[in-house]
Structure 1
Amino acid sequence: MFSHWVPRVFPAIFLLLIILSPPVFGQTHLDLTDVGDDFRFATLTGVMQVLLDPERQLDIDSASAATLDSQYQDVSNGGKIGFTDAAVWTRFTLASHLSSAQTFLLELDYPLMDRIELYEPDGQTSFSKRLGGDAFLFSARDVQVRTNVFTIDLVPGEIKTLYMRLTTNGSIQLPVRLWNQIAFAEYVAQSQLWFGLYFGAIVLLVASAIGGLLFLKSPLFFWYALYLTFYGLLNFTLTGLGFQFIWPGSPLWQDMAPSFFVGVVVITAMIFSSKLLDIAQYSRTFYHLFWLTAVLAAIGIFLSLTGYTGFAKRVSSFSGLVLVPIVMLAAVIAYRGGNIAARYFLIAWGVFLIFVFISGLYYWGVLPHNFVTAYALQLGSVFEVTMLGMALAERVASLNREKEQADQQARGYLTLLNEKLESLVKERTSELEASNERLEELATHDSLTLLLNHHAVLRALEGVINASERHGQSFCIAIVDVDNFKQINDQFGHQVGDEVLVAIANTLSSSLRTYDIAGRYGGEEFLLILPQTSTDDASDLIDRLRLSVSDLVLNNTGGERITVSAGMMAYEHGVSMDVEALFRCADDALYLAKDRGKDRIEWGSLKSLDRSLKGFADEKGGHKFHCIKE
């Protein structure tokens, strides 16, 4: 519905304002060459003639010569010549019907003109020359106001043709008007009042944006305030007020300022619009167009600051020209995508374009001079920035609504989470316990054979020793070593060697009792702990295990018979032996089995309990012992 009523309502409203708005300065349409006692104001653009001097070689004598009369052309486009490197000569004729001599004011209402040379007839054949424009100090002006104004003296019955030579590195426009002094004073007073209201509104909007930034902490307010600030400075420059009040002694900056501020305004407008419309969410193409336009504006700023002001003004003007259609189309896309703030954005730029259109018709001479037509750009810009503020407020409100919805959803999720927390904790606790068990399994078991690893089986042996001492029980251990394992690895490869170890480990696990303990001590050695087992029972058990290994048939060993040797040791209650001593005795027995032909079992024993014998000492003062090979 929004897209249907905006194009109809706003043009009707503002065209009605134009029609009903009364003239500000009495006479607005008369024969512009006639100046009588009742004359107040007239636009001269429509009766002017223009001659372009591309080489800038003509002087006043050449330009006023009768031989060039045929080359002068009527101004048919409202005085808009645009960008040109040529010198522009203009001429117009004033016919005095005054009853007495009077001084009038000739105004070129284009503050950005660099150099103006006004030639006024002085007698029959010569001209007096006066200079104006922003290429000179502001204090050198004929009349020190924001626009370029010259005094013109007329006497009764006088008819004279005046010439102006205009040069600039920017655009040339010719909104030329003639005023009597009273009408011009009224015009200046009303202009100052209007500009005070206009720039006051800009300052208030900037202050509001800064307040929003401080209280709401939204970066959108920062970019809005920055855009408004530079937009105000741009208009202060374009209206000539900057040169009049801020930098009257710097014609150089007056030349650089327009393109500089246009570039900064385009950049801040693009950033603000991009964030307000969230255009990256709706169209990556327009998002990139935004940044390309900003880069173009930045180039204009760079050219301006490095002295290439003529080219800078063209680049900056082009970036400003493409700004409006890009943001308008982006706003349409964002609005269709559901961005409510884009509604105000479209209204803001749409109405601004209407005022730009009104201003264009005014400068073309189609519309009369009144408050709305004379200040169309300022009226449009005030409406634009106000509506952009409303768009910003809507965007922030939308973000707050989204935040509130997110908070409500979060509270709902939190309630649901609290309700299920107990069961979830139990579930996670079970998972954690299972994970811990798996981790413990990985930490205590050999990854290849799945038996206890070196450290775990030694800790198990310490535990069995302690339990045996407490309960007065004996037990046996066996160190089982694979015979000729190096030859197996060398002949068949390490993968086959690993298969042999796994097969032997499986045989150990299946041959031992449930309370027996088996672990991989290292390499091809296994440590077996046989609690509450006599030496005879231990011998029988290990011998059966040895035979089971020798019966293994492995496909990858080429029929080679696999055998193991074992060194065994009994732990006797009352003989203080630690893990190292017990293991050393069993290891000595294993070496004895290897020496006696392999594939057999040997037992280690204590040679003597005499303290004078060499051996391993118990730090607690227990018996000393020495392992012997029998």
Structure 2
Amino acid sequence: MQILLAIFLFFAALHPLAGWAAPAPLVLPAGAQKVTASGHLRMLADPGGKLDPDAALHAAGWRALPAAVSAGYTDDAIWLRLDVVRAAASPDEWVLRFSNAVLDDVRLYRLDGEGRWALQTAGADVPRAAWPVDARQVVFPLRLRAGADEQWLVRLHSKKAMSTELTLWPRAAFDESSRREYLYYGLQFGSYLLLILFHIFFWRMTREAHSGWYLLYVLSNATTEALTIAIPQQIFSMPNWLSDPMLGVSMAASIAVGTRFSILQLELSALYPRFSRGVMGATAAAALTGALLVLCGRYAAGVLVVQGAALPLIAVFIALATWLALRGHRPARAFLLIFGIFYAGVLVSFLRNMGVLPPNFWTNHAATLGAFVHMMLMSLRLNRRYAELRRAKDLAQAQAVRAVRALNERLEEQVALRTAALRQEIGRRAALEGELRAALEVETRTREEQQDFVAMVSHEFHTPLAIINTTAQQIARNPGAVWDKTLQRCQNLREASGRMAALVDEYLSADRMETSAATFRPQHCDPRVLLETVLAEWPAGRVEASMRDLPARLQCDPGLLRVALRNLLSNADRHAPQAQAIRFDAAMPADGGIQFTVSNDGDALPVDEIPRLFQKYFRGRIAQHKPGAGLGLYLVRRIAELHGGQVTLERTGSDGIVSFSMRLPA
């Protein structure tokens, strides 16, 4: 207790020295993070609350605050002065939030562009519907003027503890923080609700005094915490004349119930019955006095009586538990751990309310966090105690339970071994199934390629052979025919044999590209010269070419690239009407490389054939009556892959245009 008093006097001695340093203006940053006004505020006490903003602004007695507002319980109105500088690119919309959720009267004065004070009000004395922002604590929305520094005055008045931290948030960051905060409180009070329901059920089963008093203990503490952070006030729009008495009476009830529960946990009634009755009587008297003062409208006096009784009780219980623990009293050891956390939070909260400690996240939530951890540990402690009581009853059945457990373990081991063996067998079968499925897919693909190849050979080779046979018969039957007819028939023979030779060359080229990548010989070339060479093979007017923004050099295999472009153009030539030109476009994309696009007018491609267009030997229904081996698009894809690029079907002909695009990287 002497140590706590020394700490109290130390902070109280430092507190008045804060007024000597002049605070710097608060600079609102360009980012989306919050900023605190702590260290940038000046404070002025207004006894009786008689000053208006102009009088307060020019009054003497302003002093700088080193941290947040921490004035304890006071009847004075407190004025705060804050100079705000807006950084470049700072957001327009901000909010000013007060950490204390139960302040009675909060007013914000801002000078507008014409030198008049704009006022926003909130607080417990103001109806919730009139608050600028529907939140737990006071929040003022702010829209800052561009390029203008501002000076704000805040007037605070409350019968509760005058301790609060002012923070400014960008509106988007505040909304996100509020959602996380409500999630946190939802989880916290959801845990409390589950804890209460569990112990209601537990108490109805056991009818133990510990369980009943713990249930009252949790209910009183949860009610106090909820009212302190103003969650019921916000949800139910609770007026101040109702919430303040509820909070004060709840705090008074908490100290009485907590004292009784502490006596039960330390088992003091059996060790020191007279002492226990004396402590309980004094605590009940203090709690009743504090509750009556609160109900009579003297909230600050009532709360100070309750908190003034709580601090000595904390010291007494901690000292007594320490002494009993040193003597080997087991309940005292658990008490020191479980209640020590709660008492530490209460002590920090009390010192903050008295103005000794500055308000911040930890001092604002010390009691809440300490109580939550305390409740969880206490619940575990009660469950453990109940388990210890049940253990004595279960000793007679322990042997049978162990025997059954051992039998179950043996059965589980056997089941586990058998399950592992079955899993291994299933794994082997699954692997075999995967191999068979892959082999079946390869065999199916090979059979499809073979069928396509046979169909191609039977069609593409049969026609030239028929021409050769028919022409040879004509020459044999008419050896004396006129020379012009004989020349024409020889020309037919050459064209038929040339068509067969081209088919054989195309097949051999595809086969070589399939079996080896040694044919790929990249080198630097001029893409414009290469394209002009390919386009020169087509009659004038058949191809409309567009070449723009081509790279000066291209790393490629010129021979293979000519084959790919020639096949794309040949494919379009076979399917495009003779009266319509083929469109060829070559350009350099934004990320480098080169892209070739070949488009032609034509019928829509069947949907079921699109996935097989680049398959070897595949010829669709549209191409059945046109020359070709089904290798052109396959070769284009292989050549694009060798160059590290890809070929895609851009337009399927659903709009009357079929378009293929081949893209090569830089």
Any unmatched runs of 5+ in structure 2? 1-22, 396-666
Work out whether 1:37 is the aligned partner of 2:30: yes
- Flag the 1:84–1:39 CA change in 2: closer, same or farther, 3 A: same
Partner SS for 2:49: coil
Corresponding residue to 2:197 among 179, 188, 207? 207
**1:358–1:376 Cα contact (<8 Å) kept:** yes
Corresponding residue to 1:311 among 288, 301, 319? 301
Once the two structures are TM-superposed, the CA of residue 32 in structure 1 deviates from its matched residue by 7.0
**1:332–1:342 Cα contact (<8 Å) kept:** yes
- Flag the 1:300–1:366 CA change in 2: closer, same or farther, 3 A: closer
Residue of structure 2 equivalent to 1:128:
118
Partner SS for 1:46: coil
Residue of structure 2 equivalent to 1:261:
250
Distance, in Å, in 2 between the alignment partners of 1:314 and 1:243 is 23
Residue of structure 1 equivalent to 2:133:
143
Corresponding residue to 1:222 among 203, 212, 228? 212
Work out whether 1:60 is the aligned partner of 2:53: yes
1:610-629 alignment, distance < 5 Å: none
Distance, in Å, in 2 between the alignment partners of 1:85 and 1:259 is 18
* Larger Rg computed on CA atoms: 1
Once the two structures are TM-superposed, the CA of residue 358 in structure 1 deviates from its matched residue by 7.6
Distance, in Å, in 1 between the alignment partners of 2:53 and 2:369 is 40
- Flag the 1:59–1:32 CA change in 2: closer, same or farther, 3 A: closer
Instruction: Tell me which amino acid in the other structure corresponds to 1:245.
Output: I
- Flag the 1:262–1:52 CA change in 2: closer, same or farther, 3 A: same
- Residues 153-173 of structure 1: CA deviation (Å, up to 9, x unaligned): 212322111111111112101
Instruction: Tell me which amino acid in the other structure corresponds to 2:241.
Output: L
Residue of structure 2 equivalent to 1:94:
84
- Flag the 1:310–1:329 CA change in 2: closer, same or farther, 3 A: same
Once the two structures are TM-superposed, the CA of residue 392 in structure 1 deviates from its matched residue by 2.8
User: Once the two structures are aligned, what percentage of the paired residues are identical?
Assistant: 23
Once the two structures are TM-superposed, the CA of residue 250 in structure 1 deviates from its matched residue by 2.0
Distance, in Å, in 2 between the alignment partners of 1:266 and 1:245 is 26
Work out whether 1:166 is the aligned partner of 2:159: no
Corresponding residue to 1:342 among 328, 332, 337? 332
**1:95–1:158 Cα contact (<8 Å) kept:** yes
- Residues 252-285 of structure 1: CA deviation (Å, up to 9, x unaligned): 1122222111111111111111122221333444
Work out whether 1:104 is the aligned partner of 2:94: yes
Residue of structure 1 equivalent to 2:646:
none
Work out whether 1:239 is the aligned partner of 2:229: yes
Instruction: Tell me which amino acid in the other structure corresponds to 1:131.
Output: T
Partner SS for 1:317: helix
**2:224–2:247 Cα contact (<8 Å) kept:** yes
Residue of structure 2 equivalent to 1:326:
316
Distance, in Å, in 2 between the alignment partners of 1:403 and 1:59 is 73
Distance, in Å, in 1 between the alignment partners of 2:244 and 2:294 is 9
Q: CA RMSD in A?
A: 3.2
Distance, in Å, in 1 between the alignment partners of 2:306 and 2:260 is 17
**1:223–1:272 Cα contact (<8 Å) kept:** yes
**1:101–1:155 Cα contact (<8 Å) kept:** no
Work out whether 1:280 is the aligned partner of 2:266: no
Work out whether 1:191 is the aligned partner of 2:184: no
Instruction: Tell me which amino acid in the other structure corresponds to 1:47.
Output: H
Once the two structures are TM-superposed, the CA of residue 290 in structure 1 deviates from its matched residue by 3.7
Distance, in Å, in 1 between the alignment partners of 2:25 and 2:277 is 50
Distance, in Å, in 1 between the alignment partners of 2:205 and 2:372 is 24
Once the two structures are TM-superposed, the CA of residue 316 in structure 1 deviates from its matched residue by 2.6
Once the two structures are TM-superposed, the CA of residue 401 in structure 1 deviates from its matched residue by 7.3
1:182-581 alignment, distance < 5 Å: 182-246=172-236, 248-283=237-272, 284-285=274-275, 287-336=277-326, 338-355=328-345, 375-396=365-386
Once the two structures are TM-superposed, the CA of residue 325 in structure 1 deviates from its matched residue by 2.4
Partner SS for 2:121: strand
**1:89–1:166 Cα contact (<8 Å) kept:** yes
Distance, in Å, in 1 between the alignment partners of 2:203 and 2:149 is 62
**1:32–1:42 Cα contact (<8 Å) kept:** no
Partner SS for 2:253: helix
Once the two structures are TM-superposed, the CA of residue 226 in structure 1 deviates from its matched residue by 0.8
Instruction: Tell me which amino acid in the other structure corresponds to 2:309.
Output: S
- Flag the 1:32–1:189 CA change in 2: closer, same or farther, 3 A: farther
**2:348–2:357 Cα contact (<8 Å) kept:** no
Distance, in Å, in 2 between the alignment partners of 1:397 and 1:332 is 25
Partner SS for 1:83: coil
- Flag the 1:282–1:388 CA change in 2: closer, same or farther, 3 A: same
- Flag the 1:301–1:355 CA change in 2: closer, same or farther, 3 A: closer
Distance, in Å, in 2 between the alignment partners of 1:87 and 1:31 is 24
Any unmatched runs of 5+ in structure 1? 1-29, 406-630
- Flag the 1:285–1:238 CA change in 2: closer, same or farther, 3 A: same
Residue of structure 2 equivalent to 1:502:
none
Once the two structures are TM-superposed, the CA of residue 374 in structure 1 deviates from its matched residue by 6.9
Instruction: Tell me which amino acid in the other structure corresponds to 2:250.
Output: F
Distance, in Å, in 2 between the alignment partners of 1:272 and 1:183 is 42
**1:105–1:150 Cα contact (<8 Å) kept:** yes
TM-score, with length taken from structure 1 = 0.54
TM-score, with length taken from structure 2 = 0.51
**1:343–1:391 Cα contact (<8 Å) kept:** no
Distance, in Å, in 1 between the alignment partners of 2:303 and 2:289 is 11
Corresponding residue to 1:48 among 41, 51, 62? 41
- Residues 448-504 of structure 1: CA deviation (Å, up to 9, x unaligned): xxxxxxxxxxxxxxxxxxxxxxxxxxxxxxxxxxxxxxxxxxxxxxxxxxxxxxxxx
User: Larger deviation: 169-178 or 203-212?
Assistant: 203-212
Corresponding residue to 2:106 among 95, 100, 116? 116
**1:198–1:378 Cα contact (<8 Å) kept:** no
Residue of structure 2 equivalent to 1:483:
none
Residue of structure 1 equivalent to 2:577:
none
- Residues 289-333 of structure 1: CA deviation (Å, up to 9, x unaligned): 343123201211122223332322222332343443233233334
